[in-house]
Amino acid sequence: MARSVTHLTGVAATLAEREIDLVVIHQGIDTSAPHGRLLFHLIAAIDEFTADLISEGTQEGLAAARAPGRVGGRPTVMTPTMVQMARAMYDDGKKPAEIARELRVGRATIYRHLDLGRDTAA
């Protein structure tokens, strides 16, 4: 329903202005009563806190993995020799799509390894 406590509070305020009460049957929340509004805000705050903890833990894990030099993501299929071949083909006037077909890689891979902008003719 919302991405943060601030957004959720705004949604709740908008509903209240329109005299609409939120009733969450599964959690037993009813914003027509003060205790229901309190529970609504507490659950929202706890959810945001949990999301922040998960994000923080993920960032710490990535930083710990990078510290010894580990890089995430899929390994590249382009060897230095393939990059040289691709550069030579490009310099000879071949289009990136043709080079990609010959080397059996994606066109985006050719663009990335040859540092070509998307505005280059494909």
Query: What's the CATH number for 74-122?
Result: 1.10.10
* pLDDT for res 122: 44
Report helix, strand or coil for 82: helix
pLDDT score of 109: 94
Confidence of residue 101 (pLDDT cuts 50, 70, 90): very high
Q: Name the token pair of 7.
A: 């957004």
Q: Phi-psi category of 104—alpha, beta or left, where left has phi over 0 and alpha has psi -120 to 50?
A: left
Domain boundaries of the chain, sorted by first residue? 5-66, 74-122
Q: What is the pLDDT of residues 18-29, one digit of tens each?
A: 989 888 888 778
Q: Which is more confidently placed, 2 or 16?
A: 16
Which residues are 24's β-sheet partners?
A: 29
